[in-house]
Chains A and B, each alone.
Chain A
Amino acid sequence: MIILAKIGVGVMGAVLVGGAALSSEGFIHLKVDEKQVDGHHISLIVPAALVPVTLKFVPRQHLAEAAENLRANMAIIDAALPALEQCPDGVFVEVIDPGEHVVIAKSGGSIIVDVNDPGETVHVAVPLRAAESAIHEIAAANQPM
């Protein structure tokens, strides 16, 4: 009985530590609502810490083009992301058009993009810290030796 209790505590501890590690970098939230009658409604919440790990399993050739584009702008990205983390929350860009509304903002350590057009509404929230590690992971793909 005591052994079972010890195993239980161990499992609980592992779950708690694992959960804390997974949620340490926040969550990526993607929500798409198509406005048609039979439109799709997708809502995904993914622990951001999983993204850099997952990227390690993506075949390098699939990331080659993105890696090349990112590498050309890494200096700007490396300067912008830490600066963005230190910025207060707020709306950076807002485009209001008769048929479309786009907002790019920072809220609680995440960059948020909201698009509302006649066809769908899209909400994307990406924690900045996760974005930074994911971008570095992609940029390192297919790096010439």
Chain B
Amino acid sequence: MKIMKRALPLLAVLLAGPVLWAASPERYLHVRVTNPTTHEQVRVNVPLSLAEKVIPAINHGQLRDGKVRIGGFTADNVNVKAILEALKTAPEGEFVTVEQNDSDVHVAKEHGQLLVHVIDKGSKEKVDVTIPWDVAQALISDTSENQLNVEAAIRALQNAGDVTLVSVISHDESVRVWIDSNRSDK
């Protein structure tokens, strides 16, 4: 009986091991580009753990030490970091609505996510961007004014739920970028 009592915790640990292992599956960044006219399709499935290790090693162009320089944005007088800092404390709701003859732009904070919807009326192109708030904050963490911290954002994405980050639908092509725990996008 004593042996049984001693063996039970061991058995519990052995049984819990695979369950805990299964509880933290690999997360994947998926990209799918589809062209219905030419029937071309590109599918990319990147394990986030791989991206997290490789991105800091890339020192090329605007990407250095896991951070990307966004000089173009500041040159256009749009400081992404300052905007995200301001949005951090703002209440949930729609922040920006720009309705023009050629396009509509909506920026909102909803359910802990930063949402951007753009509709180009001319080309009928529709762009939806969803950034979980933790990821948005990670993007501006430990950066100078014109940088975004890609490495930190990837780390934050590991803990984000399954979400479609970017969706672009136009008459000749559709693009979807999303996160989940499936190793393929099928």
Contact = CB atoms under 8 A, between A and B. Distances in A.
Nearest to B33: A95
A92 interface: yes
Interface in A13-57: none
Interface string B43-65: 11111011001101111000000
Contacts of B45: 90-93
Contact of A75 (B40, B41, B44, B59): B59
B42 A95 contact: yes
B41 A76 contact: no
Nearest to B59: A75
A27 B35 CA distance: 37
A79 B44 contact: no
B58 to A, nearest CB: 6
A98 interface: yes
A87 B43 contact: no
Interface string A90-119: 111111111000000000000000000000
Given A95-B41, A95-B42, A96-B40, A80 B53 contact: yes
A123 B26 CA distance: 27
Interface residues of B, number: 21
A11 B163 CA distance: 60
Interface residues of A, number: 21
B50 A87 contact: yes
Given A79-B54, A96-B41, A98-B40, A90 B183 contact: yes
B39 interface: yes
Contacts of B143: none
B38 A94 contact: no
A83 B50 contact: yes
B41 A79 contact: no
A59 interface: no
A86 interface: yes
A98 B36 CA distance: 11
Contacts of B58: 76
B184 interface: yes
Contacts of B39: 96-98
Given A86-B49, A98-B38, A91 B57 contact: no
Given A90-B184, A94-B42, A76 B47 contact: no
Contacts of B59: 75
Interface in A51-91: 75-76, 78-80, 82-84, 86-91
Contacts of A89: 183
A92 B43 CA distance: 8
B184 A87 contact: no
Contact of B49 (A83, A91, A97, A98): A83
Q: Nearest 4 pairs between A and B by C-beta?
A: A90-B183, A79-B57, A83-B53, A96-B41
24 contacts: A76-B54, A79-B56, A79-B57, A82-B53, A83-B49, A83-B50, A83-B53, A83-B54, A86-B49, A87-B50, A88-B26, A90-B183, A90-B184, A91-B45, A91-B183, A92-B44, A93-B42, A94-B42, A95-B40, A95-B42, A96-B43, A97-B39, A97-B41, A98-B40
